[in-house]
Amino acid sequence: MSNKTANTGAHKRSLTPRRRAREYALQGVYQCLVLKIAGELNDLPLAISSVTKQLSEDPAFQKCQQDLFSSIFKGVMNRSQELDALITPELDRPIAELSPVEHAALLIGAYELAADLSVPYKVAINEAVELTKTFGGTDGHKYVNGVLDQLAQKLRHAETSS
């Protein structure tokens, strides 16, 4: 997945249950994106179930906030076309040219901005940026930050202008 470990349980740093849930959600979205790119994502509910089962086999998964993981992972995957449509106008390149890690982080950030108003916009952006720092390329987090900041201006205008 990146130059850093894709095994969330192997991280040396201490993760909150919420951060761990988002990391597992990123891994799940990443796996589904890779399956989609390979033309192997034929049954979305089956893929969600299979990926969830595989991720849950990691002993560290028990330390994540599982309802948050499920909400984000299923929410992103079930609304991925809608979320891509929100993200696309903010991109400086075709969505197909994004790395799967950046794409997954953008989908998660867009989902939290659009669908979970209990998450402050700054938190949604910061969490997506941190995911990209952990799993993405060298400067991918800067790109994710810029795209989600523009998206937040549209989706959370009242919150961002105060």
Instruction: Please tell me the total count of domains within the chain.
Output: 1
Q: Is residue 143 assigned to a domain?
A: yes
Q: Is residue 9 assigned to a domain?
A: no
Chain centroid to CA 93: 19
Instruction: Residue 133: give its domain's CATH number.
Output: 1.10.940.10
Q: Is residue 4 assigned to a domain?
A: no
Q: Is residue 6 assigned to a domain?
A: no
Give pLDDT tens digits along the chain (162 positions): 543 444 444 444 578 999 999 999 999 999 999 999 888 989 999 999 999 999 999 999 999 999 999 999 999 999 999 999 999 999 999 999 999 999 999 999 999 999 999 999 999 999 999 999 999 998 999 999 999 999 999 999 999 887
Cβ-based neighbours of 86, under 8 Å, separated by 6 or more: 110, 114, 151, 155
Q: Is residue 3 assigned to a domain?
A: no
Give the range of the structural domain holding residue 99, as residue numbers without chain letter: 16-160
In this predicted structure, what is the pLDDT of residue 14? 72
In this predicted structure, what is the pLDDT of residue 9? 42
The pTM of the full predicted model, rounded to 2 decimals, is 0.90
d(CA 8, CA 21): 10
Question: Does an H or E element contain 69, and which?
Answer: helix 66-78
Question: Does an H or E element contain 62, and which?
Answer: none
Q: Which residue, 1, 34, 33, 144, is CA-closest to 11?
A: 1
Q: Is residue 65 assigned to a domain?
A: yes
d(CA 52, CA 29): 10
**Token pair belonging to 67:** 């309802």
In this predicted structure, what is the pLDDT of residue 8? 42
Q: Is residue 8 assigned to a domain?
A: no
Q: Is residue 5 assigned to a domain?
A: no
Cα separation of the two ends of the chain:
37
